[in-house]
Amino acid sequence: MPVLTLAGSPAPHSRSSRLLDLAATQLAGRGAAVDQVNLRELPAHALMHLDHRHPAIERALAQVAGASALVVATPVYKAGCSGLLKAFLDLLPQDGLKGKVVLPIATAGTLAHALALEYALKPVLSSLGAGYVLGGIYAIDQQVRWSPEAGLQLDSEISERLNDGLQRLTETMRLLVRPAQWSSDADLVPAGIEPPLARCWG
């Protein structure tokens, strides 16, 4: 089942994008077919004017439609997701994430906006019909470090939370492949989740 990573940062080398790239690498290592959309590469004029017919926008929307799961990453600005991500989500139809599994990731300079995922991003994802919105991963700048010499370095807490999030993502996708086996595959249901449907996982 294909997974799409959606990078919502306007900066080419942001912490959220680096964290998303790591998630994509780890998912590929777990056997997932991973595709990606970097929203900063989409034409700004088409995004701002909600031009669904622009070829680049059409391709990105088709990638979302064809994915079974999404990993969505954004920096936090003014206690909310990036305007770039919000503009793209506004292009999706009302049920554009129907039945899809979504893992949100956010990075910020301070813990003060830690609830941005819960109150700014998750409600938007749910309103677009996402079947399963997993517990998000929120990291501050000090927890996601990068240098040309050492590469990407994560605090152990963030590394563990990322691994847990990706594990839940792959487990949920596996369950969606075999929806008729909920009762016989109870061992596959992540702790605390009741079949057959869970809208948001904390």
Q: How much of the chain, in percent, has pLDDT values that exceed 90? A: 59
> Looking at residue 77, what DSSP letter applies?
B
CA distances from 4 to 23, 29, 48, 60, 149 (A): 11, 15, 22, 10, 29
**Rounded mean pLDDT of the chain?**
85
Residue 200 confidence (pLDDT): 44
Q: Is 162 helix (H, G, I), strand (E, B) or coil?
A: helix
Across the range 85-98, mean pLDDT stands at 94
Residue 177 confidence (pLDDT): 66
How do residues 145-190 score in pLDDT, each as one tens digit? 888 887 888 899 999 999 999 999 999 988 876 544 333 444 444 4
Q: What is the pTM of this model?
A: 0.84
Q: Which of 3-7, 32-36, 111-115 has the lowest mean pLDDT?
A: 111-115
How do residues 38-73 score in pLDDT, each as one tens digit? 999 999 999 999 999 999 999 999 999 999 999 999
pLDDT for 193 beyond 50: no
The per-residue DSSP string of 1-16 comes to: -EEEEEE--SSTT-HH
Q: Spell out the CATH class of 2-188.
A: alpha beta
Residue 201 confidence (pLDDT): 42
CA distances from 25 to 3, 58, 106 (A): 12, 26, 18
Residue 183 half-sphere exposure toward CB, CA atoms < 13 A: 1
Residue 178 confidence (pLDDT): 56
CA distances from 94 to 17, 130, 190 (A): 26, 10, 28
Residue ranges per structural domain of the chain: 2-188
How do residues 116-148 score in pLDDT, each as one tens digit? 788 888 999 999 999 899 989 999 888 988 888
Residue 103 confidence (pLDDT): 96
Alpha helices in the chain (DSSP H): 15-29, 44-48, 55-66, 83-91, 116, 122-127, 156-177
Q: Give the whole-angstrom CA distance, residue 124 versus residue 164.
A: 23
Residue 141 confidence (pLDDT): 87
